[in-house]
Amino acid sequence: MRRVLITGVTGFAGSHLAERLVERGDEVHGLAIEPPPHPNLARVVSRVAIHAGDIVDAAIVRDVVLEVRPEVVYHLAGQAVPTNATADPLGTIRINVLGSASVAAAMRELPGAHLVVASSADVYGLPARIPSLETAPLHPTNVYAATKVAAESILRAPGMTRVTLLRPCNQIGPRLHPRLVASEFAKRIAEAEAGLAEPVVRHGQLEPRREFLDVRDMAAAYDAACALDDAGVATYNVGSGSAVPVARLLEILLSLARIPIREELDPERVRGGVPDVLLLDSTRFLDRTGWRPVIPLERSLSDTLDYWRNEVTKEAGRSPAAQTEAPRRRGRAAGPSEGFARARSEEAS
């Protein structure tokens, strides 16, 4: 059993990693700025020790690290949505860069502990060679990628030991932020199925080919990285090994929809400077750890759609319309068919 600390434990990747480590029997601590409840941790929240604090507050991060004294720190906290980063560059610099500086300072107080860091394949920008090696030049083309390059530079500073920087490809799966493409498509379909949105998915370019990795496979990769014994700072790509058109994601999700849904190009979502193909060479990580992705794209997307179906149902139940409709229904007797439908619904839930 290991004692670990996860920054960003309540987020997309952090919550999945926490689930994996808790189920294995590790002592899991997490740093979170959000107050409870922590819905992403619903399955394991009673078995994760949450330490409240802002990642940019170096004193708090230091105190938590010295209190927990983890064998492994997984630094996953940060702004991970490129469009949000572009909209708030100062906030993104604060979280992604200053937050990493806080972690780096704390780790110097705990020699011997292993730091595993979530960077991003976006640091390569428009790569000259496909697939991209870890030695490829870094050419960030947006705010998000630039902050990841800056964070890596901080973590490579003299005095840092046992640091593993992982540069993953696009991750998908349940709890993915709704402003990221796979989740945006899935959420729109779930809303249309529930009658809360028109049955259309509006999109930008569908031709670019990207690697997509299930977040649960990525959690396994973070776990596997702990076995790496590089003395200083080492960098590894982590990808699925194949690139598919974004159109394939939409095609799979539309095939899973319970009602007919059309797709429509939205010119406002079309961006310039988008590379045709992004693909990582993850050979070094695979060879050093033995890790392999096991969850197929179809399951990742199906699980993401089911996640949004559940979320949309819960949100509809909390809406003002639902709150006022319930008393009105209780004021009259249900007909035979309505009573049967309600019983079936309650049984399903």
- What is the longest distance spanned by two Cα atoms in the chain? 74
**Residue 288: which domain range?**
3-176+213-241+273-295
Query: How many structural domains is the chain composed of?
Result: 1
User: pLDDT class for 329, splitting at 50, 70, 90?
Assistant: very low
Let me know if residue 183 belongs to a domain: no
Q: How many CB atoms lie within 10 A of CB 141?
A: 16
322 inside domain: no
- 346: pLDDT strictly greater than 90: no
Q: Measure the CA–CA gap between 76 and 297, rounded to whole angstroms.
A: 23
The reported pTM is 0.89
Positive or negative, the CA dihedral 79, 24, 116, 249 is negative
The number of CA neighbours under 13 Å toward the Cβ of 147 is 26
Q: What is the pLDDT of residues 128-182, one digit of tens each?
A: 899 999 999 999 999 999 999 999 999 999 889 899 999 999 999 999 999 999 9
Asked if residue 192 belongs to a domain, the reply is no
CA-based R_g, the chain, Å = 22
**Residue 37 belongs to some domain of the structure:** yes
Q: Is residue 342 part of a domain?
A: no
Non-local CB neighbours of 41 within 8 Å, separated by 6+ positions: 9, 10, 15, 18, 19, 30, 48
195 contact partners, CB below 8 Å, separation of at least 6:
none
pLDDT of residue 85: 96
Answer whether residue 344 is part of any domain. no
pLDDT surpassing 80 at residue 338: no
* Mean pLDDT along residues 240-246: 97
Task: List the CATH number of the domain containing 229.
Answer: 3.40.50.720
**Confidence at residue 166, expressed as pLDDT on a 0 to 100 scale:** 98
In the predicted model, is pLDDT for residue 332 greater than 70?
no
Using pLDDT thresholds of 50, 70 and 90, give the confidence band for residue 333: very low
Q: Is residue 249 in a domain?
A: no
Tell me the pLDDT band of 319, cut-offs 50, 70 and 90. Answer: low
**Residue 143 located in a structural domain:** yes
